[in-house]
Amino acid sequence: MELLEVLSGSVDNDARDELYKELLRNQFHDILPGTCLPKVYERTLPEFREVIDKANERSAACAKKLTKAANGISLFNPLSFDFNGVAVLDGNQPVAGGQTYVDNEGHEKTAVRVTIPAVSAVPVNGTEKKGSPFRADGNTLETPLYTVVFDEHGYIDSLVDKRVGREVKRAGAAPLGTLWFGEHLPVIYDNWELEDDMFRKLVPVTAVTSRETVTDGAVEYRIRTAYTLSKHSTAVLDTVFYADDPRIDYELKLDWNERHALLKAGFDVNVHAAFVKNEIQFGHMDRPTTRNNSIEDAKFEVCNHKWSDISESRYGVAILNDCKYGMSAKESNLCLTLQKGCCRPDPVTDVGVHTMTYSLLPHVGAFSVENVVRPAYMLNYKPMVFPGAVEVPALFDMDCDNIICEAVKAAEDVPGAFVLRLYEAERNTTTCRVTLPGAKEVLITNMLEETIETLSPENDTVTLHFRPFEIKTILVKK
């Protein structure tokens, strides 16, 4: 929202502060993990929805000020780097190369492959169609990037990466994407904790009630499989392969009605590494994949934000997600925690319908921002769709791909100025040139926007020096 306010010159700090205060109050540390009383959630969830609705309304109003023509549809990329991937539009849209399907919630969608420059918008128009590059034969699927063999339960029993001729699944391991379900009964803190005995109780979900190819076209190939988890819970899983993207998406709709149960998605991959990288805010941590001592044993479940990655020097596999932050990694087996049902203090914690997306991303080459971090951002920050032809003025540009702009906001105390929060995402010392069209003065500040250093732009460009994982805040006066 605030990025569009800065771009459109429609900054309203009072309205922004009202929304942020509402959001932050509802991110109290007991609310997020589900460890509050039921009455808290009766209030919190409607307030979250109201914040989201108001932010969307504000974004649409700002985009309207940037609209130069009423016809067509525009896609806005809020990221600080180019978006190269599949954008999804609501409804059946006559766009160039678009592919229409119905998602697992019953909504009609149109998928289209697009390239959108950083912090910019492009129009999407036309009716161009292309043939499908996918070929299915029984339990085998040929895509432009993979040869895929499914087992009888709809999971991937073999995944050969055609780019390097490499099998992604570890020999003898469970199929990729297997759902694991079972009892989970914490010893003391019901909603607060996981116990390491969960792995002995989880069993693969194999009760398939239906399986079908939903769409096969120029953009993607989508298979929908419905599973029964228990007498009370079901899952509908869309496995999505793309024509031009190595990412394999899993879009899960979960009808969850469990007490003391756990659901994970497992990916035991053909990669040998002593450590797995787990994203944290403004960086990542290396955690061991071994269990050689009590300290390593205690890391049976760890946090990850948008991604976790296990890599050799020339090949690796990442697991991306858009809302699930628990991960276990032992040797080459990465398991993402999808759902947990417990009863105290809220006896109906997480009961209901949930939707989530997680992804398997094999990548050629070692871990890098380009291979892992950027795709994870593209999964989480999808292009925003606005009616009409939206034109966005150039705000900034950077010449280093390992520097990410995490936030753009209006300056608190300097009218007309804006703030960029940048960080180095690959753990490398880096010198980066940042171009800021029309900038008269650039200040390096702390996070309270108090000046640390003043820079004089040369040809609208400043040079910034980053230590590994360093965060920098710059205030730009025009």
User: What distance in Å separates the CA atoms of residue 402 and residue 368, rounded to the nearest whole number?
Assistant: 8
Percent of all residues in the chain with a pLDDT value above 90, rounded to a whole number: 84
Mean pLDDT of 413-435: 97
CB 317 within 8 A of CB 361: yes
CA distances to 12, 20, 133, 229, 347 from 25, in Å: 20, 8, 49, 35, 23
Q: How far is CA 271 from CA 278, 310, 334, in A?
A: 16, 7, 11
Please state, in angstroms and rounded to a whole number, the distance separating the CA atoms of residues 304 and 314: 23
In the predicted model, what is the mean pLDDT of the chain?
95
Lowest mean pLDDT among 120-129, 372-381, 416-425: 120-129
Is residue 400 within 8 A of residue 430, CB to CB? The reply is yes
**Can you tell me the mean pLDDT for 376-393?**
95
| Structure confidence at residue 378 (pLDDT) | 98
pLDDT digits (tens, 9 = 90+) for 316-371: 999 999 999 999 999 999 999 999 988 888 888 889 999 999 999 999 999 999 99
Instruction: Taking residues 213-217, report their average pLDDT.
Output: 97
Query: Which pLDDT does position 127 carry in this prediction?
Result: 59
- The answer, yes or no, to whether residue 192 has pLDDT greater than 90, is no
Q: Give me the mean pLDDT over the 445-472 stretch.
A: 96
| pLDDT tens by residue, 58-77 | 999 999 999 999 888 999 99
3-state secondary structure 374-409: HHHHHHHCCCEEEEEEECCCCCCEECCCCEEEEEEE
Query: Treating both helix axes as pointing N-terminal to C-terminal, what angle do 38-65 and 13-25 enclose, rounded to 10 degrees?
Result: 150
Mean pLDDT, residues 277-282 taken together: 97
Is this prediction's pTM over 0.75? yes
User: Could you identify the residue written with the tokens 């296990």?
Assistant: 310
What pLDDT sits at residue 126? 60
Q: Binning pLDDT at 50, 70 and 90, where does residue 190 land?
A: confident
pLDDT of 312 = 98
pLDDT recorded at residue 150: 98
| pLDDT on residue 459 | 94
Q: In this structure, which long-range contacts are made by residues 376-380, counting pairs with CB atoms below 8 Å and at least 24 apart in sequence?
A: 376/279, 376/306, 376/307, 376/318, 376/320, 377/79, 377/81, 377/306, 377/404, 378/79, 378/83, 378/84, 378/85, 379/247, 379/249, 379/306, 379/320, 379/321, 379/322, 380/306, 380/322
- What pLDDT band is residue 28 in, cutting at 50, 70 and 90? confident
pLDDT digits (tens, 9 = 90+) for 168-181: 999 999 999 999 99
**In the prediction, which pLDDT does 187 show?**
84
